[in-house]
Amino acid sequence: METGQLATASFYERIGGGPALQLAVGEFYELVLADEELKGFFAETDLAQLKKHQAALLASVLGGPSAYAGRDMVDAHAGLGITERQFLLVRDYLLSVLWKLHVPVDIIDAVTSTVLSLKGSIVTA
């Protein structure tokens, strides 16, 4: 990519597009599912479908293809009783994966802002 293209590239393009997102989502769920406090939320979840939705949601947030067709955040998390601590654990796992994959700081900052903006739709306990 030429220098001029870098300035106009979306966050999605800058991180490597779909393959990079799939890698990040896979590593993210490895961490989440290894956490005793969080793994129970996913006991009866189709993980392949969840990962697909998560990658589509992140792609949309990062300026990539807007293919997310899942439920809104309120509906998706209704009745789960997610605490602020659990929400922050998930956020921290996501950010740790992004750091590990050397995602640029401006993109991590944008993801952090987006995640924190969803807290009121996810935390219900």
* Binding-site positions for heme: 53, 77
- 56 in Cβ contact with 70 (< 8 Å): yes
Residue with tokens 């601590």: 85
Q: Give the SS3 label for residue 122.
A: helix
Residues in binding site: 53, 77
Q: How far apart are CA 64 and CA 14, in angstroms?
A: 10
> 48: which residues sit within 8 A by CB, 6+ positions away?
none
